[in-house]
Copies of this chain bind each other. A is one copy, B any other.
């Protein structure tokens, strides 16, 4: 078993890590780290548990520690820290020889840090060799919650045709804003067409993920992305209305065939968190957050409404679970890939 810690364990992403790591075959949670205010308290007292399933017993009585390498005897940490503090703390852990698997945005665009979706760009994991931390230390990140679904849909199309331009409008769930997050008075029976910083992340992160790895690092993919991001009164599940201009101008039917036939390179490799199908095509009035976000335990991305678009070529709707595939689950899958590749050192 690999000994893991969770940074920011009392927050929304941290709680999802706790839930998803319950009963994990490879990772044993031995440390729950949070702010100074929480350190020293049992997790059940430090944490306003907001997951729909009960807190695991092993977590309940665990004493929360500080988020510092000297406070945690671990091989790997999952970071659900806020961006305000994640940058320095994650470097401290990497500097102490710990593998850092982060959901924070701070190091995503660093040249030597993989921005990883295991089904899409597993080769980018090689970037960690460029990192200069002491043995065992490294930082690996997963993308923003709204980026993942989009890239999962674009990657097969980019491979088959070449993506030239993307227009995406998101309808994002409340859990993406953390806790306490969006006040109920602002969103019940309402829509807010503004999420600070989100549109910029969606325009840049996919270029790195879909970029090619060369001797000098990642060469960003050449495509143009425009995003309009909105918040809607949904608990979990980001819905994205996407239109794409593809090289060769394939029809919606050709696009659908490519998406249906795409197979994840992880299939059959036994990674615990990898879903049976990384992409599913849904018919009828889907995909919908309440009906489809939990597919594949939240790791399957659903695509539907594939149609010709008279303006850009083809349009469709993508749905992904923002706190699982788009945060803790994605990071967990990253870590499982790192273990498979032999990158995670078990410290004595």
Contact = CB atoms under 8 A, between A and B. Distances in A.
B235 A189 contact: yes
A184 interface: yes
Nearest to A291: B52
Interface string A146-180: 00000000000000000001110101001100011
A166 B309 CA distance: 11
B185 A235 contact: yes
A324 to B, nearest CB: 14
Residue of A191, A230, A239 most packed against chain B (CB within 10 A): A191
A191 B289 CA distance: 7
A52 B193 contact: no
Nearest to A199: B307
Interface string A180-193: 11111111111111
B295 A54 contact: yes
Interface string A290-324: 11001100000000110001111001010000000
A179 B171 contact: no
A295 B52 CA distance: 9
A233 to B, nearest CB: 5
A228 B171 contact: no
Contacts of A180: 180, 183, 185-186
Nearest to A164: B311
A180 B241 CA distance: 27
Interface residues of A, number: 59
A185 B189 contact: no
Given A192-B285, A232-B191, A233-B189, A181 B183 contact: yes
Nearest to A239: B191
A158 B55 CA distance: 32
21 contacts: A167-B167, A167-B309, A180-B185, A180-B186, A181-B184, A182-B185, A183-B184, A184-B186, A184-B187, A188-B189, A188-B233, A189-B289, A190-B288, A190-B291, A191-B232, A193-B241, A193-B305, A193-B317, A225-B311, A226-B312, A232-B232
Interface of A: 50, 52-54, 165-167, 169, 171, 174-175, 179-194, 203, 224-226, 228, 230, 232-235, 239, 241, 243, 245, 284-291, 294-295, 304-305, 309-312, 315, 317
Query: Which 9 A/B pairs are nearest by Cβ-Cβ distance?
Result: A180-B183, A169-B169, A190-B290, A226-B311, A194-B285, A184-B184, A228-B241, A193-B317, A169-B241
